[in-house]
Amino acid sequence: MNETALASDETRRRLGFLSQGDTAALSRHGILVPDPGSVLISGEVRLEDEVVLWPNVVLQIAEGGTLVVGRGTELFSGTRIVAAGGSVAIGPGAEIGEEGGFTLKAAAGEIIQVGDGARLLGGGSLTRSNRIGRGAQILGPIRCQTCTLGDGGTYRDPEPDERGGVLKGSGVARGIEVPQGHVVQAFGLFADAAMRRQSYFHPKG
């Protein structure tokens, strides 16, 4: 190993991340990491089979937090997930960070739950406690705090009003609750926006 690689691994260890070699070795446990040199993972992170970690993903645990990523979840470039004393749990088959990355950060006493098949894209963030239900979506650079999106089908479900709750647009969403089959679209403060059925945006015929 050359001096540059040794220095990189020493820095990783000091910051609590796996070495490049240990990151690459995750492939032997069913984790897909195309570019191990660009991915930072704390040793305590729990990754289930077939998780995909694209370049420039950060999964960090600090101050006794917990972070679990479910089977088959795909984390796209620019995704940063930090359990800084809190808990982050991502269910199977989620898609996080396409079209600009995504940030999830749980401080002490906070819980972030992302359900099976949820989709978070477009450079947004989750801070404080949030529950993003099964099949729910956050679409765009939206700062979400203490939001709850209801369970439902994924965005592939042919019935829009049976899909998980959706936030779309850009801006700040605090304390927003969106039930199954509904969507709140805003460009600013989501508290001021109307809630509509998803079929309003995806009419049939």
DSSP string of 97-164, one letter each residue: EETT-EEEEEETT-EEEE-TT-EEESS-EEESSEEE-TT-EEESSEEEES-EE---B-TT-S-GGGBP
**pLDDT exceeds 70 at position 57:** yes
Q: Is 105 left (phi over 0), alpha (psi -120 to 50) or beta?
A: beta
**pLDDT exceeds 70 at position 166:** yes
Q: Is 176 left (phi over 0), alpha (psi -120 to 50) or beta?
A: beta
Q: How far apart are CA 35 and CA 46, in angstroms?
A: 19
Q: Is residue 190 part of a domain?
A: yes
pTM as predicted: 0.94
Say how many Å lie between the first and final Cα of the chain, rounded: 61
Q: Percent of the chain, pLDDT > 90?
A: 93
> What is the reported pLDDT for 58?
98
Q: Is residue 100 part of a domain?
A: yes
Q: Is residue 172 part of a domain?
A: yes
Strand partners, 140: none
In angstroms, what is the C-alpha Rg of the chain? 18
Using 50, 70 and 90 to split pLDDT, how confident is the model at 132? very high
Q: Is residue 205 part of a domain?
A: no
Q: Could you report the per-residue pLDDT of 169-198, keeping only the tens digit for each?
A: 999 999 999 999 999 999 999 999 999 999
Domain holding 151, by residue range, is: 3-200
Q: Is residue 173 part of a domain?
A: yes
CB 69 within 8 A of CB 92: no
Residue 121 maps to which CATH number?
2.160.10.10
User: Based on the structure, what is the number of domains in the chain?
Assistant: 1
Q: Could you report the per-residue pLDDT of 59-114, keeping only the tens digit for each?
A: 999 999 999 999 999 999 999 999 999 999 999 999 999 999 999 999 999 999 99
Using 50, 70 and 90 to split pLDDT, how confident is the model at 2? low
Q: Is residue 41 part of a domain?
A: yes
Q: How far apart are CA 130 and CA 107, in angstroms?
A: 12
